């Protein structure tokens, strides 16, 4: 096994490839089209990669998504022919939107019609199967023969991990998996096929450095920055005394840093230079939206320079309009932002004189005062809501923080409308791999984040919306069965309130009854008992909790159980809409 030569069966060769590339886990819901691969993982590979059994393919891909957000490396999600692929497709789309590498593996056929069982093998076979996800994967392939299986796996891994990363799909014929191999096939050398980062144009960085040094009110607008680039961003902001606004869904800058002015009013309007770093929707970032009319209008002043660093239009596809409205800029630098920032700091240092340094220092002092005012205001707002029942969102964020702050914690996704970012201490990139995405994505991603940290001794915390969990409640079983330690705190407002709010707004505009907005929106009558549900799957669980004063103690008890025993724990808290 793992000798670098041909395995006995086709599916054994696939397991050899997964081992060669360090694929540690494979999430799946079992299916007969990959029974050969399943057997090879268990009996040939010794359950390496470790199978993470899931009750739904969307959970399987979500787990791979969350795992990649933490590690930067793909894990496998294996899906059963057409039906499993279609179940998984929504989660694959979100992995594409989030630019994370996922190795999606599937099966089809048998391709040879003579080997197909009547009915079932026919309705579960498509030509070509990858078309179902082609428009939101970076690449897909249905290889034929052992040499093609080896080459396509190596290419798929390289494409998935090349910037900007994303999901890929490999589909294996049942016949190939289950037939003996007649030839020996050398395995690839991953170190000879590793992707390189795209380095930016030094001349363009020099021009940008001159702009930054001369600017009076520069703003650094941060998108989905790589964790390794954060230190260079901090150095650039500190050298310039520049304000930082965190626009992206991932950790981009320490929220307790005095130059972090995320949430401050008027910064973009007063800026004379805005530098966007890995911001994919730059138009939306510099515009304000009227939610009723759906119209957006830029807020930047005339003469404000716009510059951007990132991968621009690389990786976009024509089917999904996720590339968003095109925003003209004065300078666009294509390349890896982390590499650009280090060079940009050096270039700014070369160009700045003593008078510039004094100007930068004064600017930093003003920003520090504004930062302290923001933090104090948010803390006061949370305190003012401490007695309200059900629990206010800001109060929930504060009480959970008091219950976990002594631990080495990681927040999986949801930030409670950014109240966690306002009240907690996000001091390192590994504290938070990124905000939640659409409904029906969070619980799977959270489990993937927890799986990546399993065995680390860290406390993995998820702030779990009720509507999201109702899509995939079976995910709770996955955590208990595979001993994935995680603390979930339900933000349970018993409603799909984001859409409820839209119905209120529309009714108000039309002069209609706002009180009927609950129809088709409430998660009530009956209210789900999430604590009972979690206990039925083997979790420690408490709740529902309505009184703010009871939240912290329940969180502490759950925290201790997770850290001491590895058992997942859930605290169900009934919350206000806001």
Residue 297: CB atoms within 10 Å: 8
pLDDT of residue 307: 98
* Alpha helices, DSSP H, located in 392-528: 393-404, 419-423, 442-453, 466-471, 475-481, 497-510
Tokens representing residue 192 in the block: 């000879």
- Check: CB of residue 30 under 8 Å from CB of residue 38: yes
Is the CATH number 3.30.43.10 carried by domain 202-374?
A: no
- Check: CB of residue 448 under 8 Å from CB of residue 64: yes
DSSP 43: I
Whole-number Å distance between alpha carbons of 537 and 527: 19
What CATH number was assigned to the domain covering residues 10-192? 3.40.50.970
- For 96, 407, 445, the CA distances from 567, given in Å and listed in that order, are 32, 16, 18
- For 157, 304, 412, 498, the CA distances from 429, given in Å and listed in that order, are 25, 30, 12, 28
- Check: CB of residue 441 under 8 Å from CB of residue 62: yes
Q: Domain locations in the chain? A: 10-192, 202-374, 385-574
pLDDT of residue 197: 87
Do 385-574 and 202-374 have the same topology in CATH? yes
- Check: CB of residue 172 under 8 Å from CB of residue 144: no
pLDDT of residue 195: 85
Q: Looking at beta carbons, which pairs linking 12-15 to residues 24 or more positions away fall under 8 Å?
A: 12/40, 12/44, 12/181, 13/146, 13/149, 13/150, 13/181, 13/185, 14/40, 14/105, 14/149, 14/153, 14/172, 14/177, 15/40, 15/41, 15/44, 15/45, 15/48
- Check: CB of residue 157 under 8 Å from CB of residue 76: no
Residue 482 sits at φ, ψ, to 5 deg, of -100, 10
Q: Which fold has domain 385-574?
A: Rossmann fold (3.40.50)
Say how far residue 129 (Cα) sits from the centre of its chain: 26
pLDDT of residue 248: 79
pLDDT of residue 7: 53
Residue 147 sits at φ, ψ, to 5 deg, of -65, -40
Whole-number Å distance between alpha carbons of 22 and 18: 6
Listed as ranges, residues in the chain with pLDDT below 70 are 1-7
**Model pLDDT for residues 110-168, shown as the tens digit of each residue:** 888 888 889 888 888 888 899 999 999 999 999 999 999 999 999 999 999 999 999 99
Residue 263 three-state SS:
coil
């Amino acid at each position: 096994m793992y000798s670098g030569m041909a395995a006995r069966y086709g599916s054994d060769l696939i397991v050899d490839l997964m081992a060669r590339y360090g694929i540690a886990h494979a999430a799946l819901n079992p299916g007969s089209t990959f029974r050969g691969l399943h057997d090879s993982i268990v009996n040939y590979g010794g359950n390496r990669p470790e199978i993470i059994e899931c009750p739904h393919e969307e959970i399987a891909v979500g787990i791979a998504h969350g795992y990649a957000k933490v590690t930067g490396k793909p894990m496998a999600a294996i899906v059963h022919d057409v039906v499993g692929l279609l179940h998984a497709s929504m989660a694959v789309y979100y992995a594409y939107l989030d630019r994370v590498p996922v190795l999606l593996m599937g099966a089809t056929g048998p391709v040879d019609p003579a080997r197909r069982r009547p009915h079932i093998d026919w309705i579960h076979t498509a030509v070509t199967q990858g078309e179902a996800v082609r428009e939101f994967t970076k690449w897909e392939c249905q290889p034929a023969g052992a040499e093609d299986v080896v080459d396509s796996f190596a290419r798929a891994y390289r494409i998935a991990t090349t910037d900007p990363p994303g999901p890929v799909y490999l589909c294996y014929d049942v016949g190939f998996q289950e037939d003996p191999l007649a030839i020996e096939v050398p395995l690839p050398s991953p170190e000879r096929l590793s992707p390189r980062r795209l380095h930016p144009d030094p001349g363009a960085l020099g021009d940008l450095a001159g702009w930054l040094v001369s600017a009076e009110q520069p703003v650094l607008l941060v998108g989905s920055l790589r964790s390794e680039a954060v230190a260079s961003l901090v150095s650039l902001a500190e050298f310039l005394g520049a304000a930082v606004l965190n626009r992206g869904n991932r950790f981009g800058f320490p929220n307790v840093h005095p130059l972090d002015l995320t949430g401050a009013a008027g910064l973009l309007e007063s800026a004379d230079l805005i530098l966007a770093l890995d911001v994919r929707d730059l138009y939306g970032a510099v515009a304000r939206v009227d939610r009723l009319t759906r119209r957006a209008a830029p807020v930047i002043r005339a003469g404000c320079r716009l510059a951007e660093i990132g991968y621009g239009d690389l990786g976009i596809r024509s089917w999904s309009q996720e590339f968003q409205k095109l925003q003209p800029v004065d300078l666009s630098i294509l390349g890896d932002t982390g590499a650009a920032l280090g060079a940009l700091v050096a270039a700014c240092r070369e160009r700045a004189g003593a008078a510039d340094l004094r100007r930068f220092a004064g600017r930093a002092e003003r920003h520090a005062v504004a930062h302290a005012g923001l933090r104090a205001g948010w803390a006061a707002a949370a305190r003012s809501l401490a007695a309200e029942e059900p629990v206010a969102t800001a109060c929930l964020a504060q009480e959970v923080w008091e219950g976990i702050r002594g631990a080495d914690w990681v927040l999986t996704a949801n930030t409670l409308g950014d109240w966690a970012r306002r009240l907690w201490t996000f001091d390192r990139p590994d504290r938070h791999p990124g905000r939640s995405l659409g409904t029906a994505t969070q619980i799977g991603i959270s489990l993937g984040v927890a799986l990546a940290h399993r065995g680390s001794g860290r406390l993995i915390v998820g702030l779990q919306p009720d509507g999201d969990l109702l899509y995939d409640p079976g995910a709770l079983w996955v955590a208990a069965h595979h001993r994935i330690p995680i603390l979930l705190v339900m933000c349970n407002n018993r409603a799909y309130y984001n859409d409820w709010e839209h119905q209120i707004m529309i009714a108000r505009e039309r002069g209609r009854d706002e009180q009927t907005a609950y129809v088709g929106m409430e998660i009530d009558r009956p209210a789900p008992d999430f604590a009972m549900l979690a206990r039925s799957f083997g979790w420690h669980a408490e709740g529902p909790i309505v009184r703010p004063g009871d939240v912290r103690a329940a969180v502490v008890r759950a925290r201790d159980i997770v850290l001491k025993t590895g058992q997942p724990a859930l605290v169900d808290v009934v919350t206000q809409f806001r």
